[in-house]
Structures are given as C-alpha cells and as structure tokens.
Amino acid sequence: MSVLPLTIQPNDILHKVSEDLPLDALDQYLSLGDDMVETMLENDGIGLAAVQIGKNLNLFTVNKDVTGEDEHWILCNPTITFQSKNTAVMEEGCLSCPKIYGSVRRPVKVRVTAYTLTGEKKIFKAKGLLAKVFQHEIDHLQGTLIMDKFEDGN
C-alpha cells in the first residue's frame, strides 16, 4: 500500500462527474482502494473519493471510526435512494480544500446502495455523521465541493 498525492482545489477534475466502475472487473481496483484507505488515514480523513487522488472513478472510502466496523469501507458506484426531509447543519472541511471550513445543510438520514470491490451489493441506512460522510463523498463523485454547498455567510 502507498500514500497517494491529494488533488487540491482549484483543479478541474474536482468538478467533473465520475464514471461508474465495471461490476465485472472490480478486482482490478482492489489495490487502488487499499491505497486510498492509506491516503485517507495519512491525511487524518474520515472519507476519501477517488477524484481526490486524481481518478475520475465512482470509488470512495469511509473510515472505520465513523462506521463503527472493524474495517474501513471501500465502496463504488453509490446511489442515494432515500434522503430524510429533516436536515441539520454541520461544519465541514475537505482534504481537497485545505483550511476551508463552512456550514453545510444536509439530510440527517440517507439510504445508500453501493458495491464492495468484491462485487457485493450493500444497502446502508445511515444517520448522523455517517450520513454526512456518505453525502460528502458522493458529492465529490458528482463534481460538487463543500463550498458549493455552504450556507449563506460562509
């Protein structure tokens, strides 16, 4: 495993919609997923999208400290299938936008369908911080940065 260089704003790739990974060839992304976890941890991140390391792919990681699981998650081709009407504002930062923080309003609960790199389809019901991380990373995959979502006054 190796730590990859982060893509820092301003950079056009951060504003591009990422491409789905082919479900019949996910194993070719295992090493990249491991490197992304290592990169996330080295930079004290709680999530990392592939676009943040210059790869325009629908692939992201979630830190096990957020999930409460034994392993970090490496997921691809996510879709948000439900968002609660209730929202909350939370200050967010981003590894690709160093030293920039602002208030972002997001649904407090989401349901996300995604795949593991072994091809397993998963459905996640997330609330609180995990819901925020899912939404933040999926925003990256859709070419959206946190400052695009800052509440007025930031």
The structure's pTM equals 0.95
Number of domains in the chain: 1
Handedness of CA 96, 3, 23, 125 (dihedral sign): negative
User: Looking at the domain assignment, is residue 144 inside a domain?
Assistant: yes
Does residue 54 form part of some domain?
yes
| DSSP H stretches of helix in 82-127 | none
Catalytic residues: 137
Q: Tell me, yes or no, whether 83 lies in a domain.
A: yes
Residue 153 reports pLDDT greater than 80: no
Is 141 within the bounds of a domain? yes
Distance separating alpha carbons of residues 125 and 122, to the nearest angstrom: 10
* 6 in a structural domain: no
- 7 assigned to some structural domain: no
What residues pair up with 59 in beta bridges, in sequence order? Answer: 76
- The domain that holds 80 is classified in CATH as 3.90.45.10
Find the domain containing 62 and state its range: 12-148
Cα 6–chain centre separation: 14
- Indicate whether 29 pLDDT > 70: yes
What digits encode the pLDDT tens for the residues 82-119?
Answer: 999 999 999 999 999 999 999 999 999 999 999 999 99
151 DSSP 8-state letter? P
